[in-house]
Amino acid sequence: MLVIRNRLENMMHITLRRPDDWHLHLRDGAMLEGILPESARDFGRAIIMPNLVPPVVTGADAAAYRDRILAALPEGADFAPLMTLYLTEGTDPDDLAAAAQSGLITAVKLYPAGATTNSDSGVRDIDKVMPVLERMAEIGLPLCMHGEVTDPAIDIFDREAVFLDRVLEPLRTRLPELKMTLEHVTTKDGVDYVRGADRNLACTLTTHHLIINRNHMLVGGIRPHYYCLPIVKRAEHQQALRAAATSGDARFFLGTDSAPHVDAAKETGCGCAGVFSATNTMPLLAQVFDEENALDQLESFASLNGPAWYGLAPNEAQMVLEKIPGEFPATIETGAGPVTVFDPGFAPQWRVRR
Ligand SMILES: NC(=O)N[C@@H](CC(=O)O)C(=O)O
Ligand SMILES: [Zn+2]
Ligand SMILES: [Zn+2]
């Protein structure tokens, strides 16, 4: 990556391969149409989460959803959706293997039942999906995980750390050949666990978990647009995530977890979990990496580590980020209703060169 400082103009810009988003919610219908251009503008590819209602369970579901995404793409867009299947206790290993072998799907997603938005069809008993997981290990198909336990006795702020002990460690011991992506890691426990794993484990980090902690969500008023799952943690965890993202360690890469809900579903007595960050992720990441004196690691995090993990080449196209104050809309109007864009709480100092 090229970092160029022009002293005369006191301006800085960086050039990197076009980034990818390794964890994205595109939804469907009018919402899909409204928010897809926000991702397609800056990202070459994205792993598409399957938690629609009803979920994307079979190869046929994934093919139909992929076609709806492709149909909704703006003219001339340079964006490829990488499809996933939603793992259920009824998933057919042969259907899944066929979808993988034809290149239709890139990964399979594990939602513990009830852990997050639209996860009711998820897994209650891991033993029931062992034959599917064994098949995935055999054919080298990665498992993406929403890493939180759902035990009501476990405090919501501890659910990720407890998942590592109760689910992930036993699963890795039982099936060391299975390649796993721990999604949207939010704790120091999570990044330490990934660092300590000898092989077959990587994780995604979101834009917003690098920028906000639970004080931002709760001090001085409750901010529903910062409510997401896994819930934002204390500042020391945020610091650990920033250190991991900027470390250059290839096991950490970007998955925005951009998860739109219409404002009416967020600003209500029982609001939905999800932060919508597709619009401004890249300028905000430039600012985070700049603050951490790690601009030279941004390309690895956003454009190189993810493709390497999934066995793909980096994008050929390039992106230029420039240190010039930028602007972005507060809201994206969709046919389903307005969606609030992630507000980092500061004026962005970087923008994407168009
Ligand atoms: N992250 C979220 O808070 N919400 C996601 C689901 C998820 O990724 O857990 C969503 O689909 O809305
Ligand atoms: Zn999740
Ligand atoms: Zn998600």
- Say what the pLDDT of residue 88 is: 97
pLDDT at 170 over 80: yes
- Asked whether the predicted pLDDT for residue 182 surpasses 70, the reply is yes
* Nearest partner of 21 among 293, 193, 338, 276, judged by Cα: 276
In 122-196, DSSP assigns E strands to 143-145, 180-182
Angle between helices 130-139 and 93-101 (to 10 degrees): 20
Residue 4 in this model has a pLDDT that exceeds 70: no
Q: Is the CB of 287 under 6 A from ligand 1?
A: no
If you average pLDDT over every residue of the chain, what do you get? 96
Q: How many whole angstroms separate alpha carbon 106 and alpha carbon 231?
A: 27
Q: Known binder of ligand: residue 257?
A: yes
> Is position 225 annotated in a ligand binding site?
no
Verify whether ligand 1 is closer than 6 Å to residue 25 (CB atom). Answer: yes
Of 249, 257, 290, 343, which is the active-site residue? 257
Q: What is the ipTM of this complex?
A: 0.99
Question: Is any atom of ligand 1 closer than 6 Å to the C-beta of 312?
Answer: no
pLDDT at 121: 92
Interval 313-350: pLDDT, tens: 999 999 999 999 989 999 999 999 999 999 999 999 99
Domains, the chain, in order of start with CATH, read 2-352 (3.20.20.140)
**Tens digits of residue pLDDT in 240-282:** 999 999 999 999 999 999 999 999 999 999 999 999 999 999 9
Percent of the chain, pLDDT > 70? 97
Q: How far is the CA of 4 from the centre of ligand 3 (A)?
A: 34
pLDDT (0 to 100) of residue 252: 98
C-alpha 166/C-alpha 255 separation (Å) is: 24
Percent of all residues in the chain with a pLDDT value above 90, rounded to a whole number: 95
The pTM for the full model equals 0.97
pLDDT bin (cut points 50, 70, 90) of residue 51 is: very high
The pairs formed by 233-238 with CB atoms below 8 angstroms and a separation of 24 or more are 233/157, 233/186, 233/187, 236/188, 237/186, 237/187, 237/188, 237/213, 238/209, 238/210, 238/211, 238/212, 238/213
